[in-house]
Amino acid sequence: MKSEEVFRSFFKTKSSLVIAHRGYSKIAPENTISAFKLAVRFKADMIELDVRITKDGTPVIIHDSKVDRTTNGTGRVKNFYLWVLRELDAGSWFDHKYIGEKIPTLKEVFDAVGGKIPINIEIKSASIKDKLTEKVLAVIYENEIADNVLISSFDPRVLKNVRKLTDEIPTGFLYHYPIYFNPVRTLLNLGANVLIHNYKFTTPKLVEKLHNAGFKIFVYTVNSPNHILKMLEIGVDGIITDDVKLTRRILNSFNQT
Ligand code: G3P
Ligand code: CA
């Protein structure tokens, strides 16, 4: 399937998607198997997660470049061998009941929740040397899950590289600031399917411009009821949130009015 077709399939009958930011990270430690399983259980439409690479070249799921905030260890992810990283506790910083939770590999995520709902994989490193993008694609294809993932990045070089390697996997361009460039031309240049924007700078005009050109827009990270409602009112296609249940409730009542 082509990336456009795969991307369209994520919507099925839905107009806007509820996307679990780092899993259901309001109630479980971010980027862990527990958080991903809870996202599925609470009926998120998509999981968002962050991928980095270990010293020995395995894609692992963690947001920060260092392990310090979300584990009981210290140091840079890229300086850890996988087996050492796996000794760390990635759950007890959040709540004692998650003690023993590990930093998952990308493969483990696919084994646990792959194919249940689509997974938005944010690639955090653009280094050509570590070949993270190539390795992520290899895990995706080994697990035969190309029709259930979306790759996103703040770095246009990552998205260009993905497009050079495959036209089957949808991509999203992440942007954190107000937009002073032509977003349609940018998405076309990158071969991307969706703009993923900081909701604080998302305007009705931007949404309209992208929709008129056949593109979608997701916004991050929206957690307050007022902001969730405002984003639905301006017509965004996906809300990346820590609070799956709240966002689902607001979306349901918005759809009924
Ligand atoms: O994908 C949206 C959002 O996850 C980007 O910001 O810092 O949470 O990875 P961050
Ligand atoms: Ca992210």
Domain boundaries, the chain: 3-256
Nearest CA to ligand 1 atom 7: 63
Cα gap 189→133, rounded to integer Å: 19
Residue 59 is predicted with a pLDDT of 98
CA of 256 to the centre of ligand 2 (A): 30
| Neighbour-count burial of 214, counting CB atoms closer than 10 A to its CB (0-12 exposed, 13-18 middle, 19+ buried) | exposed
pLDDT at 13: 83
In three-state secondary structure terms, 23 is coil
Pairing of strands 119-123, 59-61: unpaired
Check if the beta carbon of residue 193 is closer than 8 Å to that of residue 171.
yes
Ligand 1 centroid to Cα of residue 197, in Å, is 9
Kindly identify the ligand whose nearest atom is closest to the C-alpha of 19.
1
Written as six digits, the tokens of 139 are: 């895990």
- H-helix or E-strand spanning residue 218: strand 216-220
* Cα 257 to ligand 1 centroid, rounded to whole Å: 30
Contact 174 CB / ligand 1 (< 6 Å): yes
Query: What was the pLDDT predicted at 127?
Result: 76
Residues recognised as catalytic: 21, 63
Specify the CATH superfamily of domain 3-256: Phosphatidylinositol (PI) phosphodiesterase (3.20.20.190)
Q: What is the pLDDT of residue 107?
A: 98
The pick from 159, 174, 194, 239 for probing ligand 1's pocket by mutation, whose C-beta has the most ligand atoms within 8 angstroms, reads 174
Ligand at minimal distance from the CA of 49 is 2
What atom in ligand 1 is closest to the CA of residue 50?
9
CA of 11 to the centre of ligand 1 (A): 21
**Given this model, what pLDDT does residue 14 score?**
84
* Radius of gyration from C-alpha coordinates of the chain: 17
Residue 184 CA to residue 90 CA, distance in Å, equals 39
**How far is Cα 66 from Cα 77, in angstroms, rounded to an integer?**
5
Atom number, ligand 1, closest to the C-alpha of residue 220: 2
Beta bridge partners of 107: none
| pLDDT at site 257 | 85
Tell me how far apart the alpha carbons of residues 168 and 96 are, in angstroms, rounded to a whole number: 41
Query: How many C-beta atoms surround the C-beta of residue 24 within 10 A?
Result: 25
pTM over 0.95: yes
In the chain (257 residues long), the average pLDDT of successive 10-residue segments reads: 96 93 98 98 98 97 98 98 98 98 98 98 86 97 98 96 97 98 98 98 98 98 98 98 98 94
Rounded to 10 deg, the angle between the 132-142 and 156-165 helix axes is 40
User: Measured between alpha carbons, how far is 149 from 134 in angstroms, rounded to an integer?
Assistant: 15
Please work out whether the CB of residue 196 comes within 6 Å of at least one atom of ligand 1. yes
| Ligand minimally distant from the alpha carbon of residue 31 | 2
